[in-house]
Amino acid sequence: MKRAFPILAVLTGVLLSYALHQALVTAPTEQTMGDVQRIFYYHVPSAWTAFILFFVNFFASIAYLIWRANKADIVALVTAEVGVVFCTVVLVTGPIWARPVWGIWWTWDLRLTLTLVLWLIYVSYLVLRRFSSSGQTPLLAAVLAVFGALDVPLVYFSIWFFRTQHPQPVIGGGGSLDPRMLHALLINWLAFSCFAALVCWSRYRLEVLRRDVDETLALEALLEPRSSQTGISPTGRAG
């Protein structure tokens, strides 16, 4: 398992380079939008990657609720953090793309809006994790993640119907995709997924180490005589 990490790192590096080349050089220039359209190869794969990460977060949270496994909680934390980052990429690239092409900064585009709501839900998830006392954080966070996941289909349908009532521009346009563009898109998605896996894995290991340190310190505090303990009140330390 240990050797897999450097292999993944190298693979990710290779894929990202290839994907960059595909997106910026190989893929054909779009007819109407020009080179600005190439942001599409960052905008869409980021969204898909974020959604997958949040999907994993949902299952990790359920796993935590059922088995109270520490590892499940760490997976949930990690996927939420990295997912928020990818969501941010989507929310930033969306307006950057929309402005020169359609002349507007924002539109209630289905993908963009869904991403915004997910971003809000998961930022509130991360805030909850930071603000709750350390003993209860995994449980409360898992509960919130379940609520968030239940919300997603409702968000989707509400935005979808909203758009039928109030027609809005669609970022990315409709219509079929040139096969070379599809190829570039999928390569970028693969590269981003590998990158996400790499970052999540690193973060996971970091968190495992951090918790190990905390546990060791706690164990030390348990075993040593009381007089050398710091005077932390038994109402728990925050964060």
Binding site for another protein (CB under 8 A): 65, 117, 120-121, 123-124, 127-128, 131-136, 139-140, 143-144, 146-148, 150-151, 154-155, 157-159, 161-162, 165, 217-218, 221-223, 225-226, 229-230, 232-239
| Interatomic CA distance for residues 143 and 214, integer angstroms | 24
| Interatomic CA distance for residues 40 and 46, integer angstroms | 10
In 3D space, the residue among 198, 183, 204 whose CA is nearest the CA of residue 14 turns out to be 198
Which CB sits closer to another protein, 33 or 62? 62
Cβ 19 vs Cβ 184: under 8 Å: yes
Which CB sits closer to another protein, 140 or 186? 140
Which CB sits closer to another protein, 10 or 66? 66
In 3D space, the residue among 33, 50, 48 whose CA is nearest the CA of residue 170 turns out to be 33
Please state the closest distance from residue 205 (CB atom) to another protein, in A: 23
Please state the closest distance from residue 187 (CB atom) to another protein, in A: 33
| Interatomic CA distance for residues 199 and 193, integer angstroms | 10
Q: What is the widest separation between alpha-carbon atoms in the chain?
A: 75
The set of residues, in sequence order, having a beta carbon less than 8 Å from that of 96 and lying 6+ positions away, is 39
Please state the closest distance from residue 60 (CB atom) to another protein, in A: 16
Residue 78 corresponds to which amino acid?
V
Which CB sits closer to another protein, 100 or 236? 236
Please state the closest distance from residue 73 (CB atom) to another protein, in A: 14
Which CB sits closer to another protein, 8 or 146? 146
Please state the closest distance from residue 4 (CB atom) to another protein, in A: 34
